[in-house]
C-alpha cells in the first residue's frame, strides 16, 4: 500500500515534467538586440503569426520589440532573430469603428500587461477598442479568435501594403463567397520578388467594403489595404488564414489539407491551440533535461524553442514549391516522408540563415532532428539545381546572397559524413562547383588563393570562410571517393581527386594572410601586399572584416587548430594570445557594426565568428579555461529576461550554442562530428537521437563552484584526453565525444570538480 501511495504521489510530478512548454518564455530575446519573433507558430512551420508594431528600425527586424507601443496588425509571416528586416505578409487588424486606411491609421496602443504568450499561442487586448485578439497556428495556417466588446461595430482590415521593412509590388484581395477571401502579396525587401498567396475564411459573413485610395509608391495603383464589415453578433469572430508560395488555389488546398475539410477542426480554436502546444511539447521533448535552477531550465527550453522556429516549411501540402529561379515545381508525395519528422514530408525549406547556423544549430539538428536532415539536404540540392549554386541566405524562394563564404557547404558536408545524404555524389558536386564559381570573390580565390582586398570588401572574412568550406568539401569528397571509387568512371575519379587536391591545398593556405608585423590576419591585395598599416588597431572593424575585427577573426581556422597554433608560434605563445583576447580593451571604433556585442575583452559572443573560440582552450591543453568561460557566458550573457540575449538570435544559432554547451559539448570543426567537452549545465539530459535510441548525459557532483570536468565515462569506459600537441606537466587535453557515440545511444557520465 505504501508503494502504491508513493507512486500515486509521484505520478503527477512525472506527468508535469513532460509539459516542456511551461518552461518556455517567448519574451526572452524581445528586448535589447535579440530580434526574436513573438507570436504563434508550430516547429518549423510556414506560418509565424503575430503582432507587427508601428515602430521601425534595426531592433524591429522581426516586427516586434519589447519597447514597442502600438500594433498596426497581425501578420502571418515574421523573421526571428535576424539582423535585417523583411516579411510581415498578410496583416489583419480588427476594429470597432472606421479607421483611416494607412499605417498610422491602423496603429493601436496596447500594454504588455494585457499580452499572453506561450508556444503556439498569442493573445493581446487592444486598448482603445477593447478587442481581445488571440491567434494559434498549424504548419501552413493561422487561426484567430477575435472577441469584440458586446454590441460594438465589427470591422476587419486586411493590410497587404505594410510589411516589416519591405515594399509591396502587387497585392490583391478578392471575395469568393460571404465567408471566403483570397489574395496575394508580391513584395520586395531583403529578398527580391517574394510571392505570398493566401486564402482567408471567416466563420461569420462579411463583405468587402472599401479599398484604400492612397497610391502605392511603386506601382501608382491604389494601396492594397482593405476594409471588411463583419456581420453583427456577440459571438467571437474566427478567421483562418492559409498560406502558399505557389498560388491561391494551393493556399485553399493547404487549408483543406490541414483541417481535413472538417468544419469542426476548422473552427475549434482550443483544439488547434492544444495541437500546437502538443507539437511544441513533442519537439522540445527531444531533450528531457533537469537543472540546478528553474532559471537554467527556462533559458534552456526557450533556447530549444527559438532553435526550432526555422528553417521553415516552404512547400505546399501537395508537394508544390516555388523554386529559387521563381518557377513553380511539382512533386509527388510522399518523398522519403517519416511520421517522426517535424516537417512531415516537406522537402523544400526556407529561412536558411546558413552563415550563422552552420556553427551550432546545424550540428545540433544532426543529433536531435535526424528525421529532418534528409529534407534539409534535399532542399539544398533543389536550390542548387534551380540557381546553379548552393544557398547562401535563402528566404521566400529568393537568394539574398547575404553574408560571406559558402556556408551551405559545411552543413551539407556534415550531413553527408553523418549519413543523412542519399545522393552523396551529387552533394559533393554541388559543394565543389559552388566553391569553384567566379562570383562573390571566388574568382580571386582561384587566381590568388585569397579574396583580394583591393577587389572586394570583407576580403579577409570572405577568404577565411571559403577556407573552412573548402576543408569541409574535401572531407566529404574524400569519403565519397573512398566509398564509390569502384563504381565511378576513371575520368570521374581522376577529376574528383584533382578537385580534392586543389581545395585541400587552398584550405591550408591561410598562413599567407598572417601579417607577422602585427600578429593578425589582414587583408591582402592582388599584388601580394598587405593593406596599409597606417592606423591599424585590432579592435577596429575595417574594410576586410564582416561584423568583426582582427581579434575575432584571428581564430577563424576551426578546421586546422593545430596548424593555427603552429602559425602563432607554438602552443605556449598561442595560449597567451588566446588569453589576451579575453582581457583586451572592449572599446570598438565608431564604424563597428552593432552585431559585435556580448563582449568579454574582444571575444564577441553576440556574433557567430566567436562561438567556437572558448573551446579552443581545451584543444590546446587547458580545458579548465574552456569550462570557466563557458560558465561565465552561460551566467552573464544569457538570462531569462526580455534582454536575455547578448546579440541577434540569428535564426537559432545563439540558442543552439546554449543548448549544446548546456549539454556539455560543442563541434569546433565545421563538419565531421567531433565534439569537444566543455562544462555541462544539466544535471541529467536524455536525448532522443532517432531509431528508438536515447543518449543520456549524467553529471556527478555538479554545483555552482564544481563546474570543471574531472573525468568522463562513455558507457562506463573512460574518455581519453587529446590535445593539439603533448601537454606540459599540469596541463590536460580535450575530452572528445564522437557523433557515432551519441547516435548509437548510451550513457555519458561526467564527474565534476571545483
Under DSSP, is residue 226 helix (H, G, I), strand (E, B) or coil? Answer: strand
Give the integer Cα–Cα distance in Å for 359 and 307: 13
Residues 6+ apart with CB under 8 A from 691: 370, 743
- Report the DSSP pairing between strands 746-753 and 708-714: antiparallel
Q: pTM of the predicted model, to two decimals?
A: 0.95
Residues 6+ apart with CB under 8 A from 495: none
Q: pLDDT value at position 334? A: 44
Give the integer Cα–Cα distance in Å for 569 and 565: 7
- Cα-based torsion angle of the residue sequence 298, 302, 303, 304 in order, rounded to the nearest 10 degrees: 110
Q: Is the dihedral of CA 390, 392, 393, 399 positive or negative?
A: negative
Q: What is the pLDDT of residues 335-388, one digit of tens each?
A: 444 456 777 667 899 999 999 999 999 999 999 999 999 999 999 999 999 999
φ, ψ of residue 506 in degrees (nearest 5): -65, -40
Residue 730: which pLDDT band, with cuts at 50, 70 and 90? low
470 pLDDT higher than 60: yes
CATH class of 287-313+328-748: alpha beta
Q: Record the cell numbers describing residue 571, joined without a space.
A: 602552443
Mean local confidence (pLDDT), 149-177: 96
Q: pLDDT value at position 194? A: 96
- From the CB of residue 130, how many other CB atoms can be counted at a distance below 10 Å? 13
Give the integer Cα–Cα distance in Å for 156 and 241: 14
Q: Record the cell numbers describing residue 733, joined without a space.
A: 587535453
Mean local confidence (pLDDT), 109-123: 97
Per-residue DSSP letters for 378-404?
HHHHHHHHHHSS--SEEETTEE---SS
Given its phi and psi angles, is residue 690 left (phi above 0), alpha (psi -120 to 50 degrees) or beta? left
The half-sphere exposure of 123 on its side-chain side, counting CA atoms within 13 A, is: 14
Q: Do residues 187 and 65 lie in contact, with contact meaning Cβ atoms separated by under 8 Å?
A: no
Burial of 713 (0-12, 13-18, 19+ CB in 10 A): middle
Give the integer Cα–Cα distance in Å for 515 and 29: 39
Q: Do residues 184 and 196 lie in contact, with contact meaning Cβ atoms separated by under 8 Å?
A: yes
Q: What is the pLDDT of residues 58-68, one digit of tens each?
A: 999 999 999 99
- Rounded (10°) angle between helices 653-663 and 361-368: 60
Q: What is the pLDDT of residues 318-335, one digit of tens each?
A: 999 999 999 999 876 544
Q: Do residues 159 and 225 lie in contact, with contact meaning Cβ atoms separated by under 8 Å?
A: yes
> Among 153-162, 585-594, 725-734, which is the least confidently predicted range?
725-734
Mean local confidence (pLDDT), 708-731: 84
Q: Do residues 559 and 467 lie in contact, with contact meaning Cβ atoms separated by under 8 Å?
A: yes
* Cell 577565411, residue located: 464
φ, ψ of residue 250 in degrees (nearest 5): -70, -35
Q: What is the pLDDT of residues 79-95, one digit of tens each?
A: 999 999 999 999 999 99
Q: Do residues 50 and 76 lie in contact, with contact meaning Cβ atoms separated by under 8 Å?
A: no
Angle at 628 between CA 622 and CA 633, to 5 degrees: 130
Q: Record the cell numbers describing residue 200, joined without a space.
A: 482567408
Q: Record the cell numbers describing residue 645, joined without a space.
A: 540575449
User: Exposure pattern of 489-504 as b/e (b: 16+ CB <10 Å)?
Assistant: eeeeeeebeebbebbb
Per-residue DSSP letters for 427-468?
HHHHHHHHHT-SSTTHHHHHHHSS--TTT-TTHHHHHHHHHH
Give the integer Cα–Cα distance in Å for 303 and 24: 8
Give the integer Cα–Cα distance in Å for 298 and 287: 14
Chain-centroid distance of CA 664 in Å reads 21
Q: pLDDT value at position 473? A: 98
CATH number, span 39-284:
2.70.98.10
Q: Do residues 444 and 451 lie in contact, with contact meaning Cβ atoms separated by under 8 Å?
A: yes
Comparing CA positions, the residue from 80, 329, 315, 41 lying closest to residue 197 is 315
How far is the CA of 213 from the CAs of 29, 101, 160, 651, in angstroms? 38, 8, 14, 38
Pure H helices in 485-589: 490-507, 550-553, 561-567, 571-583
- From the CB of residue 358, how many other CB atoms can be counted at a distance below 10 Å? 29
Q: What is the pLDDT of residues 300-319, one digit of tens each?
A: 999 999 999 999 999 999 99
Q: pLDDT value at position 607? A: 95
Q: What is the pLDDT of residues 539-581, one digit of tens each?
A: 999 999 999 999 999 999 999 999 999 999 999 999 999 999 9
Give the integer Cα–Cα distance in Å for 409 and 50: 33
Task: Quote the percentage of the chain above a pLDDT of 90.
Answer: 89
3-state secondary structure 23-38: HCCCCCCCCCCCCCCC
What residues does each domain of the chain span? 39-284, 287-313+328-748
Q: pLDDT value at position 727? A: 58
CA Rg value for the chain: 26
Give the integer Cα–Cα distance in Å for 498 and 569: 32
Under DSSP, is residue 256 helix (H, G, I), strand (E, B) or coil? Answer: helix
16 pLDDT higher than 70: no
Chain-centroid distance of CA 584 in Å reads 30
Cis ω before 560 (30° cut-off from 0): no
Amino acid at each position: 500500500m505504501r508503494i502504491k501511495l508513493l507512486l500515486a504521489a509521484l505520478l503527477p510530478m512525472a506527468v508535469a515534467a513532460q509539459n516542456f512548454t511551461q518552461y518556455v518564455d517567448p519574451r526572452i530575446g524581445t528586448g535589447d538586440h535579440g530580434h526574436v519573433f513573438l507570436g504563434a507558430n508550430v516547429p518549423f512551420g510556414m506560418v509565424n503569426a503575430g503582432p507587427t508594431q508601428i515602430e521601425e528600425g534595426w531592433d524591429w527586424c522581426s516586427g516586434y520589440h519589447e519597447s514597442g507601443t502600438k500594433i498596426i496588425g497581425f501578420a502571418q509571416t515574421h523573421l526571428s532573430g535576424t539582423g535585417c528586416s523583411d516579411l510581415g505578409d498578410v496583416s489583419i487588424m480588427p476594429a470597432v469603428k472606421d479607421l483611416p486606411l494607412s499605417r498610422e491609421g491602423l496603429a493601436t496602443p496596447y500594454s504588455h500587461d494585457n499580452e499572453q504568450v506561450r508556444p503556439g499561442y498569442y493573445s493581446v487586448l487592444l486598448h482603445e477598442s477593447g478587442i481581445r485578439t488571440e491567434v494559434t497556428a498549424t504548419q501552413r495556417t493561422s487561426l484567430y479568435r477575435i472577441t469584440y466588446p458586446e454590441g460594438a461595430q465589427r470591422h476587419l482590415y486586411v493590410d497587404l501594403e505594410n510589411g516589416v521593412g519591405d515594399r509591396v509590388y502587387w497585392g490583391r484581395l478578392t471575395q469568393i463567397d460571404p465567408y471566403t477571401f483570397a489574395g496575394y502579396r508580391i513584395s520586395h525587401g531583403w529578398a527580391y520578388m517574394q510571392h505570398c498567396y493566401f486564402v482567408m475564411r471567416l466563420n461569420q459573413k462579411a463583405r468587402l467594403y472599401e479599398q484604400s485610395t492612397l497610391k502605392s509608391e511603386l506601382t501608382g495603383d491604389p494601396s492594397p489595404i482593405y476594409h471588411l464589415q463583419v456581420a453583427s453578433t456577440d459571438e467571437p469572430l474566427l478567421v483562418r488564414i492559409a498560406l502558399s508560395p505557389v498560388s491561391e488555389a494551393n493556399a485553399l488546398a493547404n487549408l483543406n489539407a490541414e483541417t481535413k475539410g472538417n468544419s469542426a477542426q476548422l473552427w475549434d480554436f482550443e483544439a488547434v491551440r492544444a495541437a500546437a502546444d502538443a507539437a511544441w511539447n513533442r519537439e522540445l521533448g527531444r531533450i528531457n533535461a533537469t537543472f540546478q535552477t528553474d532559471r537554467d531550465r527556462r533559458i534552456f527550453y526557450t533556447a530549444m524553442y527559438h532553435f526550432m522556429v526555422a528553417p521553415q516549411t516552404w512547400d505546399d501540402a501537395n508537394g508544390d514549391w516555388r523554386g529559387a529561379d521563381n518557377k513553380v515545381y511539382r512533386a509527388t508525395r510522399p518523398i522519403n516522408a517519416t511520421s517522426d519528422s517535424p516537417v512531415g514530408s516537406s522537402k523544400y525549406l526556407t529561412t536558411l540563415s546558413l552563415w550563422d547556423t552552420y556553427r551550432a544549430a546545424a550540428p545540433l539538428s544532426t543529433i536531435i532532428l535526424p528525421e529532418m536532415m534528409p529534407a534539409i539536404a534535399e532542399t539544398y540540392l533543389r536550390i542548387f539545381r534551380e540557381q546553379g549554386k548552393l544557398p547562401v541566405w535563402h528566404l521566400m524562394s529568393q537568394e539574398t546572397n547575404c553574408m560571406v563564404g559558402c556556408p551551405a557547404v559545411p552543413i551539407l558536408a556534415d550531413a553527408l559524413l553523418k549519413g543523412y545524404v542519399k545522393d552523396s555524389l551529387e552533394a559533393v558536386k554541388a559543394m565543389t562547383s559552388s566553391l569553384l564559381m567566379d562570383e562573390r570573390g571566388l574568382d580571386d580565390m582561384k587566381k590568388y588563393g585569397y579574396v583580394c582586398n583591393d577587389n572586394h570588401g570583407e576580403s579577409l572574412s570572405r577568404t577565411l570562410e571559403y577556407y573552412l568550406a573548402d576543408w569541409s568539401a574535401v572531407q566529404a569528397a574524400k569519403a565519397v571517393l573512398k566509398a564509390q571509387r569502384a563504381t565511378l568512371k576513371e575520368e570521374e575519379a581522376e577529376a574528383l581527386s584533382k578537385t580534392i587536391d586543389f581545395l585541400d591545398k587552398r584550405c591550408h593556405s591561410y598562413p599567407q594572410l598572417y601579417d607577422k608585423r602585427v600578429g593578425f590576419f589582414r587583408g591582402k591585395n592582388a599584388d601580394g601586399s598587405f593593406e596599409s598599416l597606417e592606423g591599424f588597431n585590432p579592435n577596429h572593424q575595417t574594410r576586410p572584416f564582416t561584423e568583426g575585427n582582427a581579434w575575432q577573426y584571428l581564430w577563424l581556422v576551426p578546421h586546422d587548430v593545430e596548424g593555427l597554433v603552429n602559425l602563432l608560434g607554438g602552443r605556449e605563445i598561442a595560449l597567451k594570445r588566446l588569453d589576451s583576447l579575453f582581457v583586451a580593451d572592449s572599446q570598438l571604433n565608431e564604424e563597428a557594426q552593432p552585431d559585435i556585442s556580448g563582449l568579454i575583452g574582444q571575444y564577441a559572443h553576440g556574433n557567430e565568428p566567436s562561438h567556437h573560440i572558448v573551446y579552443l582552450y581545451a584543444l590546446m591543453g587547458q580545458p579548465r579555461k574552456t569550462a570557466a568561460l563557458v560558465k561565465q557566458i552561460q551566467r552573464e550573457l544569457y538570462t531569462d529576461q526580455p534582454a536575455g540575449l547578448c546579440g541577434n538570435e540569428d535564426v537559432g544559432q545563439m540558442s543552439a550554442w546554449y543548448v549544446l554547451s548546456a549539454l556539455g559539448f560543442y563541434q569546433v570543426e565545421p563538419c565531421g562530428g567531433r565534439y569537444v567537452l566543455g562544462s555541462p549545465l544539466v544535471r541529467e539530459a536524455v536525448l532522443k537521437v532517432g531509431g528508438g535510441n536515447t543518449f543520456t548525459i549524467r553529471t556527478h557532483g555538479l554545483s555552482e563552484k564544481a563546474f570543471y570536468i574531472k573525468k568522463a565515462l562513455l558507457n562506463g569506459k573512460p574518455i581519453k584526453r587529446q590535445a593539439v600537441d603533448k601537454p606540459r606537466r599540469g596541463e590536460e587535453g580535450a575530452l572528445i565525444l564522437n557523433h557515432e557515440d551519441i547516435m548509437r545511444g548510451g550513457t555519458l557520465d561526467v564527474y565534476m570538480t571545483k
